Structure 1
Amino acid sequence: MNSESSAQIDVTKPHPARRYDYWLGGSVNYEADRASADAVAEAFPTIHLAALENRSFLRRVVTYLAAEAGISQFLDIGAGLPTAGNVHEIAQDITPAARIVYVDNDPIVLAHARTLLDSSAQGATAYLDADVRDPERILTHPNLLATLDLSKPVALMLVAIVHFLTDDDHPHDLVRRLCDALPPGSYLVMSHGTDDYLDIEDRAETSAANQRSGVPFQLRSTAEFSRFFTGFDLVAPGITSVTTWRPEGWRPHPRKEAVSMLGGVGRIGTRAVG
């Protein structure tokens, strides 16, 4: 198990990981996080449902990758605070030797990383304190290199994280750099907030709420989201609402408008087309 030191925790500013924890019903969040989360909920009251559906999407994708695609290595960037059904728990339940690296930039996530590092005896997990905006730090980090074999397929998990990157961060370039470091047979997994399912009034209210929340956030259209998968082979059913990506038939599925999250899984071929 690997961990590392981090900067002092600042609880006066909202952080996406702690805000997401609040929406999921967790307890590792602070007044600034809750105020930010409530500001978003004023304009988008079903945000709690969206968080739950996004988590369900992650579970179904990891199950597919481990059970059907034969993936046993996972790089989960923007891992967030531990909750029920972490990537290593799902993957190692299917493949005990699975190896997982978690990445986040919130010191509180690091403080709770022991739960994320509770690996099976056959497998391994590691955590590194880094930001998705710094792919070189992630890809060259000793914790990653000691845990994952980058000559073998890896599932890059960017679940509900890239919508915190504005266009000024050049998100498509960042994702491409991460994918370019992975061998053929790897997978890109993403979910992302969208305004495709919102009417004009709801879009304006959501945009204003995001500005009030104190957390940079950019919704993207299906066309913009699809660009992240350029040159990759999409796994059926392709780019879709997270609620309809290989849904479980035994439960009702919420309306796309109530979740407003896109999801997709793409297989990285011999050479991606940039």
Structure 2
Amino acid sequence: MSETNNPLIRTDIPHSARIWNYWMGGKDNYEIDRTIGDASLAIDPDIATMAVESRKFLIRAVRMLAGERGIRQFLDVGTGLPTMQNTHEVAHELAPESRVVYVDNDPLVLAHARALLTSGSDEGVTTYIQRDFHNPEEIVADARNVLDFEKPVAVMFMGVLGHARSYPDALRIIGTIMDAVPSGSYLVFWDGTTDSDAYVKLCQEYTKSGGAPYEPRPKEQLEAAFDGLELVDPGFGPIVHWRAELAKPGTLPDIAAYGGVARKP
């Protein structure tokens, strides 16, 4: 990888975005990520399923918002590495004029941004903002240069807020951005929960490996992120069940990942 020449990219410390990429079959990862990824699979074999199912949830949510709700602006915070059917690709398939802003502070993600930005539509806009989600005011200020905050925006936190410094901080981050967007906007949010002992242990071991700590939380705390918003059917619950009408009965995996989509009244 040419990115190894970037001094900001540490190839000796595991990184959750690169490990996630590995679990999803991507190639943007290093030996340390694959080593920790395999060790994590030994602790919790369902984690690779969570990675795949979370992307399916993203695809269903963006399709619903662009296709059924007429949303043409997306703010994807903590996007991670591009893999398959990214937010802008799903949105542009249904609404080529969509404007998509990705936010991440990881140098490897930003190194891939140039290639990702070439795959957008001619009518729409796809861009990156280099910001830490712990500074949501800065995200809003930068996003205003691309998005029209007088029109609805879909704000997305897809399995990233376990990296928040605390639960109150996670709510602050969500609340700050949702306060900035107008009525008719949406929050798309999911995260890992404490339902699975194996997943909790995996997160603990990942922290010991030198990676940035990730804190799974009770599903009741995740649901509270939607307080004051109107949940879209089927409401808050396991992401594998969210609008999974096409799945065959009995085939949906049981993973510790909960979330939903909600409208700002």
When the two structures are superposed, what TM-score results if normalisation uses the length of structure 1? 0.88
Q: State the shift of 1:146 in Å.
A: 2.9
Partner of 1:125: 126
- 1:73 and 1:209 map into 2 onto residues whose CA distance is 37
Q: Does 1:177 align with 2:173?
A: no
For CA contacts below 8 A with separation 6 or more, give which structure has more relative contact order: 1
Q: Secondary structure at the match of 1:147?
A: coil
Residues 113-152 of structure 1: matches in 2 within 5 Å? 113-117=113-117, 118-141=119-142, 144-152=143-151
Partner of 1:22: 22
Indicate conservation of the 8 Å contact 2:87/2:100, yes or no: yes
Amino acid across the alignment from 1:29: N
Contiguous gaps of at least 5 residues in structure 2: 1-5
Equivalent residue in structure 2 for 1:212, among 191, 202, 208:
208
Q: Secondary structure at the match of 2:60?
A: helix
Indicate conservation of the 8 Å contact 1:43/1:206, yes or no: yes
- 1:169 and 1:130 map into 2 onto residues whose CA distance is 20
Q: Does 1:34 align with 2:34?
A: yes
Partner of 1:260: 256
Q: State the shift of 1:8 in Å.
A: 2.3
Partner of 2:54: 54
Amino acid across the alignment from 2:173: L
Greater shift, 242-251 or 101-110, is seen at 242-251
Amino acid across the alignment from 2:16: P
Residues 47-126 of structure 1: matches in 2 within 5 Å? 47-117=47-117, 118-126=119-127
Partner of 2:239: 242
Q: Secondary structure at the match of 1:74?
A: strand
Q: State the shift of 1:169 in Å.
A: 6.9
Q: State the shift of 1:168 in Å.
A: 6.7
Q: Does 1:227 align with 2:224?
A: yes
- 1:85 and 1:128 map into 2 onto residues whose CA distance is 20
Calculate the aligned-residue CA RMSD, in Å: 1.9
- 1:160 and 1:167 map into 2 onto residues whose CA distance is 15
Indicate conservation of the 8 Å contact 1:193/1:261, yes or no: yes
Partner of 2:3: none
